């Protein structure tokens, strides 16, 4: 056998080289038939379901949580998990409101309330600090990410309850209300914000080197490190970006409600994981796409909307979220053939 013949035999088939991306694209579209089916069922249950007003309502109701899903997705792809996003979702706008809402209160810090113009920077800064602290414990000290972020979830929830006295912050400044209440081109600004962030996420993770690095780290962190990827730095930045996204999502819902409840975000992590898992994001890391996560959260909120129109009590929402996670895990196990640890 000549050298050229040997190379021809050993070279991968063009069909095989194209199979990976093709399968990934098909997996991204896996929930589209389910979304269409739910839309049909929703129309049968109540014709209002497919009206423009209701569609916008679904998109707005999911816009804030979808950004947290985006945040959790990029963390899960690296093989980590951040439970504290739920509490950052409430604490970031809550702390900003605590520092800004009442100019006559010093909050025991020896300084007067901050100018309203600093509300958004404070919200994002709180998110960045929470993510940086998570990164310090997880990356620098090598602690278990699940336990660390579970502890942070409890700490941040307690901090929000403490500074608010268990009450709701009202009379938010315009700077905190704008993004959550503004209408752009007939559609809520929060919807546009969510769509733009998902579009950016799709581009970054699908077509840039840092995005590919996230998948490499989630697939095999040791191999990624051996390949020259600065795994610790990327993991740290990922946790910071994720927390900032959760903080922004909290700002959006606070603006829509014109208030920050002491329990804001409580239980949201269940919906976040349900949407991510049903969207094909692996809990083992290295698998999943931003588009898949978006279809997951869209399908979840469409189902919730159909149940609402059908008169099903909202108390069944947590049952639905848990059932979705279990079903998605079983389907992933059957189709993927790999045990989940």
User: Where residue 27 falls among pLDDT bands split at 50, 70, 90?
Assistant: low
Mean pLDDT of 165-174: 89
Residue 156, domain member (yes or no): yes
Q: Flag the least confident range among 41-45, 138-142, 244-248, 309-313.
A: 309-313
- Using one digit for the tens of pLDDT, what is the confidence trace for 118-152? 999 999 999 999 999 999 999 999 999 999 999 99
Q: What's 112's DSSP letter?
A: P
pLDDT at 337 over 60: no
pLDDT of residue 228: 92
pLDDT of residue 284: 87
pLDDT of residue 11: 40
Query: Quick one: which of 240, 82, 74, 248 has its CA closest to 152?
Result: 82
Residues 38 and 299 sit within 8 Å (Cβ to Cβ): yes
Residue 2, domain member (yes or no): no
Looking at beta carbons, which pairs linking 311-317 to residues 24 or more positions away fall under 8 Å?
A: 317/271
Contacts of 292 (CB under 8 A, 6+ apart): 27, 28, 30, 31, 279, 280, 281
Whole-prediction pTM:
0.88
- What CATH number did the domain enclosing 188 receive? 1.10.3470
Mean pLDDT of 197-216: 94
Residue 129, domain member (yes or no): yes
278 is in which domain, residue-wise?
A: 30-336
Residue 60, domain member (yes or no): yes
Residue 25, domain member (yes or no): no
Instruction: Give how many domains the chain has, as a whole number.
Output: 1
- Tokens describing residue 236: 């740290």
Angle at 141 between CA 138 and CA 144, to 5 degrees: 40
Residue 76's region, left for phi above 0, alpha for psi from -120 to 50, else beta, is alpha
Q: Is 294 helix (H, G, I), strand (E, B) or coil?
A: helix
Q: How many CA atoms lie within 13 A of 290 on its CB side?
A: 23
Residue 5, domain member (yes or no): no
- Using one digit for the tens of pLDDT, what is the confidence trace for 250-280? 999 999 999 999 999 998 998 899 899 888 8
Residue 99, domain member (yes or no): yes
Residues 340 and 333 sit within 8 Å (Cβ to Cβ): yes
Residue 150, domain member (yes or no): yes
Which of 15-29, 237-251, 283-297 has maximum average pLDDT?
237-251
pLDDT at 14 over 70: no
Q: Is 210 helix (H, G, I), strand (E, B) or coil?
A: helix
Q: How far apart are CA 106 and CA 111, in angstroms?
A: 5
Mean pLDDT of 291-295: 94
pLDDT of residue 212: 93
Residue whose structure tokens are 């249950």: 45
Average pLDDT of the chain, as a whole number = 86
Which of the two residues, 327 and 120, has the higher pLDDT score?
Answer: 120
pLDDT of residue 48: 93
């Amino acid at each position: 056998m000549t050298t050229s013949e040997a190379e021809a035999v050993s070279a991968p088939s063009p069909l095989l080289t194209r199979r990976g991306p093709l399968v990934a694209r098909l997996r991204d579209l896996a929930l589209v038939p389910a979304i269409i089916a739910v839309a049909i069922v929703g129309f049968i249950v109540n014709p209002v379901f497919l009206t423009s007003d209701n569609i916008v309502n679904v998109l707005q109701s999911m816009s804030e949580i979808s950004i947290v899903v985006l945040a959790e997705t990029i963390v899960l792809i690296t093989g980590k998990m951040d439970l504290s996003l739920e509490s950052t979702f409430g604490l970031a706008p809550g702390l900003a409101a605590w520092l800004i809402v009442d100019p006559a209160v010093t909050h025991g810090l020896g300084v007067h309330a901050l100018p309203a113009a600093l509300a958004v920077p404070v919200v994002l800064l709180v998110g960045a600090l929470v993510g940086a602290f998570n990164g310090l414990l997880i990356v620098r000290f090598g602690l278990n990410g699940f336990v660390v972020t579970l502890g942070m979830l409890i700490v941040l929830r307690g901090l929000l309850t403490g500074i608010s006295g268990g009450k709701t912050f009202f009379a938010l400044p315009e700077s905190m209300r704008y993004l959550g209440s503004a209408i752009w081109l007939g559609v809520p600004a929060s919807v546009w914000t969510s769509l733009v962030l998902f579009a950016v996420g799709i581009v970054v993770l699908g077509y840039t080197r840092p995005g590919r690095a996230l998948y490499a780290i989630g697939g095999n962190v040791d191999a990624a490190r051996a390949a020259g990827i600065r795994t610790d730095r990327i993991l740290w930045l990922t946790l910071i970006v994720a927390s900032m996204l959760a903080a922004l999502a909290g700002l959006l819902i606070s603006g829509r409600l014109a208030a920050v409840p002491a329990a804001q975000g409580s239980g949201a992590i269940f919906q976040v994981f349900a949407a991510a898992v049903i969207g094909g994001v692996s809990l083992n890391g290295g698998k999943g796409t931003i588009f898949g996560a978006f279809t997951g959260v869209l399908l979840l909120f469409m189902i919730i909307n159909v149940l609402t129109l059908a008169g099903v009590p909202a108390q069944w929402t947590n049952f639905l979220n848990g059932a979705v996670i279990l079903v998605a895990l079983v389907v992933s196990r059957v189709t993927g053939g790999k045990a989940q640890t």
